[in-house]
Amino acid sequence: MGEMLFPVSIRSILLGPCMLLATACTAPRPNPYVVTPNPGEPLTSIPGPMPDFGPYTQVSEALLAACPVIIGQPHASIPVSRGDQNFSVYWRTASEYCAWLYSIDGTQVEMSLLTTSPVQDDPTRRRCDLPARVVDRRNPDAAVAYLVMLHNHPGGERISSPDLQSIAEMARIHGPTTRLGGQPISISIAAFFGEVREGKPECAGFYHYVPARSDEMLRYTVDNGRLMRKVVARVDWSENGIPKVLPVEERP
């Protein structure tokens, strides 16, 4: 296990900008930061950039800033553990949100607006269908570098097989690598999880997987102002493109 210092203050990461936290501050309705399609009408693109977010020069900074924005949305984090008798009650209304980290100039990292799926057809998981395309409203015809697929897991679970298949498809569409700040960078996926303290949602960490870099699935958790890093699983892809998640203890 390793550790990484926060590039910004721990309180700003945990609580995030007041303007973007739908549950912690007064926000207009409907939520202007979330695009929800009508059932049966999937989005073909998602607008960007997210107001009052960055921009950032490093993907790591943008990841940390995005976590409280997403975890702060309504029902994005279940305040009890899976073993709690009330978990199923919270699960019924839990929501998964997703967004892109992207760049249009090759130097600054932006975040798209968020989206959710109005259809939840599997009672065992929450889903969010992120469009493959971002349209930056400042320059709709700009070429977009797609950096990280972002989403939350309300129950705190790790990156799932459907998540892995989604990032594999996005890597096929956009390419496994792009460039940022003149350096190559690989497309990746992050799943945020949170906790509720004194009635307010806070970012507790995230799972991260970079398919072009290694088979490792990493978990980053907040611990006394530091971000602790641990390999929690490895991803094994079959010849048919089917992923299998192997906890580190079960590695062949």
pLDDT value for 122: 79
What region does 170 belong to: left with phi over 0, alpha with psi -120 to 50, or beta? Answer: alpha
Q: What is the pLDDT of residue 56?
A: 97
**What is the phi/psi pair of residue 28, to 5°?**
-65, 155
Q: How many Å apart are CA 245 and CA 250, to the nearest integer?
A: 10
**Helix, strand or coil, per DSSP, at residue 206:** strand
For residues 148 and 142, the answer to whether their CB atoms sit within 8 Å is no
29 pLDDT above the threshold of 80: no
Q: How confident is the model at residue 249 (pLDDT cuts 50, 70, 90)?
A: low
The SS3 call for residue 26 is coil
pLDDT of residue 200: 86
Confidence (pTM): 0.85
Per-residue pLDDT, 20: 52
Q: Which residue has the higher pLDDT, 6 or 206?
A: 206
The domain total for the chain is 1
Write the pLDDT tens digit of every residue in 56-71: 999 999 999 999 999 9
Q: What is the C-alpha to C-alpha distance for residues 213 and 211, in angstroms, rounded to an integer?
A: 6
Q: How far apart are CA 29 and CA 184, in angstroms?
A: 40
For the segment 103-113, what is each residue's pLDDT rounded down to a tens digit? 999 999 999 99
Instruction: Report whether pLDDT(53) > 80.
Output: yes
More confident residue, 104 or 5: 104
- 196 DSSP β-pair partners: 201
**Residue 207, domain extent:** 2-250
More confident residue, 53 or 117: 53
When the pLDDT of each residue in the chain is averaged and rounded to a whole number, the result is 86
Place of tokens 């998540």: 163
The more confidently predicted of residues 8 and 89 is: 89
Q: Binning pLDDT at 50, 70 and 90, where does residue 173 land? A: very high
Backbone angles phi, psi at 58, to 5 degrees: -120, 140
Q: What is the mean pLDDT of residues 32-53?
A: 92
Q: How far apart are CA 148 and CA 102, in angstroms?
A: 7
* pLDDT one-digit tens code per residue, 13-28: 444 444 455 444 544 4
Higher pLDDT, 213 or 135: 135
